[in-house]
């Protein structure tokens, strides 16, 4: 079986972090959905910048938009982005329907310049939600302290949210609380929560990129072979340990009387998601991110794979995207909080020791 499609058997969904007009129009997205089991698409301003700047396929849409009068760069961007998102959402709608609204989403991000502006984030998110007008849309909002109230507000208005820039366990707990409180407010106002969805997207590979660099510095300084071995064993492990501990919070927060009251009304669980970049560590297993994610999440997780359109469509199996499954997906399921806590604590102690030197 296609190794990416095989992830479905373990409750994993691959979302593609790429979007361009021709990618949808020429059928490449549909092919990845049909052949590789891609379940969603995410986007951000940088992705659109690359798509618009690297081809001429946006020249005609931009010229058409300008016929209606002068527009600011932001207005032009929104005009073409909204259309691309609508087209992608339409291609993904069968996935959304077949999974009862638990998958098949496309994400559109609010301006990064609003990351510290809750009111601005709310206004732009509501505007984009209305403009796109697709049920399988998620508005991407950063998990900054300033935007936590925005996340709660948007959920309370029935707007599905993809929470991004999520690194810390404590912030995840705040994000989950915002989702729950938003759902409670929405239900109290008579809303039907069954069509409201959320993904809390942990940035996994970026944590290891930072921590592994610090570990490399400590390894180079260590004279004791045992200490070198201990530090080396931590490389590539801290981000997943962090995510595993957050998953314990997930299981606790989405259980019990509070959650059961919402679930009885049709509320959906806020899925955990993980954003992986292709590994550049020559000593790492290229597919370690996805395989380890299967282990900590026990299913129902979204794996966001990053790469280029060319890499994504070269063989139609996403092999360049770190989205293959080369090991037993549940090898690490037993490695839950105790071991994860041990790894995280070891890294924390190492960092504190370094700070004292």
The catalytic site residues sit at 140
Q: Is 281 helix (H, G, I), strand (E, B) or coil?
A: coil
Cα–Cα distance for residue pair 265/262, rounded to 1 Å: 5
Burial class (CB in 10 A: 0-12, 13-18, 19+), 302: buried
Cα–Cα distance for residue pair 245/278, rounded to 1 Å: 23
Cα–Cα distance for residue pair 24/150, rounded to 1 Å: 31
Q: Is 305 helix (H, G, I), strand (E, B) or coil?
A: strand
Q: Cβ(42)–Cβ(304) under 8 Å? A: yes
Q: What tokens appear for 165 in the block? A: 């820039």
DSSP labels for 9-76? GGTEEEEE----HHHHHTTHHHHHHHHH-EEEE---HHHHHHHHHT-STTHHHHHHHHTTS---HHHH
Q: Cβ(88)–Cβ(17) under 8 Å? A: no
Helix (H) or strand (E) holding 332: none
Cβ-based neighbour number of residue 5 at 10 Å: 17
Q: What tokens appear for 147 in the block? A: 């935007």
Cα–Cα distance for residue pair 317/38, rounded to 1 Å: 10
Q: Cβ(182)–Cβ(156) under 8 Å? A: yes
Q: Cβ(301)–Cβ(243) under 8 Å? A: no
User: Which parts of 54-168 fold into alpha helices (H)?
Assistant: 59-66, 73-98, 118-132, 148-156
């Amino acid at each position: 079986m296609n190794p990416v499609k095989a992830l479905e058997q373990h409750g994993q969904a691959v979302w593609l972090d790429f979007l361009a007009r021709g990618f949808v129009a020429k059928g490449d997205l549909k092919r990845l959905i049909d052949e590789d089991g891609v379940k969603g698409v995410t986007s951000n301003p940088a992705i659109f910048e690359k798509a618009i700047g690297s081809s001429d396929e946006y020249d005609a849409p931009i010229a058409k938009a300008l016929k209606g009068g002068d527009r600011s760069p932001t207005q032009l961007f929104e005009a073409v982005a909204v259309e691309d998102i609508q087209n992608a959402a339409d291609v993904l709608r069968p996935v959304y329907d077949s999974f009862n609204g638990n998958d098949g989403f496309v994400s559109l991000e609010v301006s990064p310049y609003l990351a510290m502006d809750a009111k601005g984030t709310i206004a732009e998110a509501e505007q984009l939600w209305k403009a796109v007008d697709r049920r399988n849309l998620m508005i991407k909002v950063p998990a900054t302290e300033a935007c936590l109230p925005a996340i709660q507000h948007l959920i309370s208005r029935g707007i599905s949210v993809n929470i991004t820039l999520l690194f810390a366990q404590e912030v995840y707990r705040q994000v989950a609380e915002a989702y729950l409180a938003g759902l409670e407010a929405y239900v109290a106002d008579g809303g039907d929560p069954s069509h409201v969805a959320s993904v809390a997207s942990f940035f996994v590979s970026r944590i290891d990129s930072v921590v592994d660099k610090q570990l490399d510095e400590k390894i180079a300084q260590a004279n004791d072979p045992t200490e070198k071995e201990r530090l080396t064993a931590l490389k590539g492990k801290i981000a997943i340990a962090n995510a595993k501990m957050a998953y314990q919070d997930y299981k606790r927060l989405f259980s019990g009387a509070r959650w059961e009251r919402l679930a009885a009304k049709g509320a959906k669980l806020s899925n955990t998601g993980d954003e992986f970049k292709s590994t550049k560590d020559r000593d790492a297993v290229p597919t370690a991110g996805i395989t380890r994610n299967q282990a900590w999440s026990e299913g129902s997780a979204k794996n966001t794979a990053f790469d280029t359109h060319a890499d994504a469509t070269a063989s139609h199996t996403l092999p360049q995207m770190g989205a293959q499954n080369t090991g037993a997906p549940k090898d690490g399921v037993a490695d839950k909080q105790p071991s994860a806590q041990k790894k995280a604590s070891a890294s924390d102690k190492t960092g504190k020791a370094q700070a004292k030197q």
